[in-house]
A and B are shown apart, each in its own frame.
Chain A
Amino acid sequence: MTLLEVQALDAFYGDFQALFGVSVRVEAGETVALIGANGAGKTTFLKSLVGLIDRRRGEIRFAGEPIAGEPAERISRLGLSLVPEGRLLFPSLNVEENLLMGALNRRPGTWNLARVYELFPVLRERRRQSPNALSGGQQHMVAIGRALMSNPKLLLCDEISLGLAPLVVDQIYASLGRIRAEGASIVLVEQDVKRAAGAADRVYCLLKGRITLHGQARGIGLEQLSRAYFGT
Chain B
Amino acid sequence: MIWVETIINGILYGGLYGLLGVGLALIVGVMRVVNLSHGEFIVLSAFIGVSLVGVFPGVHPLVLVLPVAVIAFGLGVALQAVLINRVVTRPDPFAAILLTFGVAVVMRNLMVEIYGADLRHLQAGQLAQASTGIGGLHVGVLPLSILALSVILFTGLQLLLTRTRFGRIVRATADHRDVVRLMGVNPGRVYNLAMGLSLALASVAGMLLAIRASFSPYSGVERLLVAFEVVVLGGLGTFWGAMLGGITLGVAELVGLRLDPNAGPLYAHLLFLVGVLLRPNGLFRVRT
A72 within 8 Å of B (CB atoms): yes
Residue of A nearest to B161 (CB): A92
Query: What 1/0 mask marks residues of chain B from 174 to 186 whose CB sits below 8 Å from any chain A CB?
Result: 1110111111111
Min Cβ gap A102→B in Å is 6
Other than the given A93-B175, A102-B183, 8 more pairs (CB < 8 A) read A52-B182, A73-B181, A73-B186, A84-B179, A90-B176, A92-B288, A100-B168, A101-B169
Query: A101 contacts which chain B residues (CB < 8 A)?
Result: 168-169, 172, 180, 183
B120 within 8 Å of A (CB atoms): no
Cβ-neighbour of B182 out of A82, A91, A93, A97 (below 8 A): A82
A105 within 8 Å of B (CB atoms): yes
Residue of B nearest to A92 (CB): B171
Cα A51 to Cα B171 with chains together (Å): 22
Give chain A's interface residues, CB within 8 Å of chain B.
50-52, 71-73, 76-77, 81-82, 84, 88, 90-93, 97, 100-102, 104-105, 150
Q: How many residues of B contact A (CB 8 A)?
A: 18
Also in contact, A52 and B168, with CB within 8 A (given A88-B176, A90-B175, A92-B174): no
Cα A84 to Cα B180 with chains together (Å): 12
Decide if A88 touches B185 in the complex (CB within 8 Å).
Answer: no
Decide if B171 touches A52 in the complex (CB within 8 Å).
Answer: no
Cα A88 to Cα B176 with chains together (Å): 8
Also in contact, A104 and B184, with CB within 8 A (given A90-B171, A93-B172): yes
Cβ-neighbour of A50 out of B171, B182, B186, B288 (below 8 A): B182
**Which 8 A-B pairs give the minimum distances between C-beta atoms?**
A72-B181, A92-B171, A105-B184, A90-B175, A90-B172, A76-B184, A104-B183, A88-B179
Cα A32 to Cα B175 with chains together (Å): 31
Decide if B182 touches A72 in the complex (CB within 8 Å).
Answer: yes
Q: Which of B165, B175, B178 has the most CB of A within 10 A?
A: B175
Decide if A91 touches B175 in the complex (CB within 8 Å).
Answer: yes
Min Cβ gap A161→B in Å is 20
Cα A52 to Cα B183 with chains together (Å): 12
Decide if B175 touches A52 in the complex (CB within 8 Å).
Answer: no
Query: A91 contacts which chain B residues (CB < 8 A)?
Result: 175
28 contacts between A and B (CB under 8 A): A51-B181, A52-B181, A52-B182, A71-B181, A72-B181, A72-B182, A73-B184, A76-B183, A81-B182, A88-B179, A90-B175, A90-B176, A90-B179, A91-B175, A92-B172, A92-B288, A93-B168, A93-B172, A93-B175, A97-B168, A97-B172, A101-B169, A101-B172, A102-B183, A104-B169, A104-B183, A104-B184, A104-B185
Also in contact, A76 and B179, with CB within 8 A (given A92-B172, A93-B171, A100-B168): no
Cα A97 to Cα B179 with chains together (Å): 14
Cα A72 to Cα B185 with chains together (Å): 9
Cα A46 to Cα B68 with chains together (Å): 47
Query: B179 contacts which chain A residues (CB < 8 A)?
Result: 84, 88, 90
Query: A102 contacts which chain B residues (CB < 8 A)?
Result: 183
Cβ-neighbour of B181 out of A76, A81, A93 (below 8 A): A76
Min Cβ gap A145→B in Å is 13
Query: B180 contacts which chain A residues (CB < 8 A)?
Result: 101
Cα A150 to Cα B180 with chains together (Å): 13
Decide if B175 touches A92 in the complex (CB within 8 Å).
Answer: yes
Residue of B nearest to A75 (CB): B182
Cα A91 to Cα B165 with chains together (Å): 16
Considering the complex, which residues of chain B in the window 157-174 have a beta carbon less than 8 Å from any beta carbon of chain A?
165, 168-169, 171-172, 174
Query: B165 contacts which chain A residues (CB < 8 A)?
Result: 100
Query: B181 contacts which chain A residues (CB < 8 A)?
Result: 51-52, 71-73, 76
Min Cβ gap B224→A in Å is 26
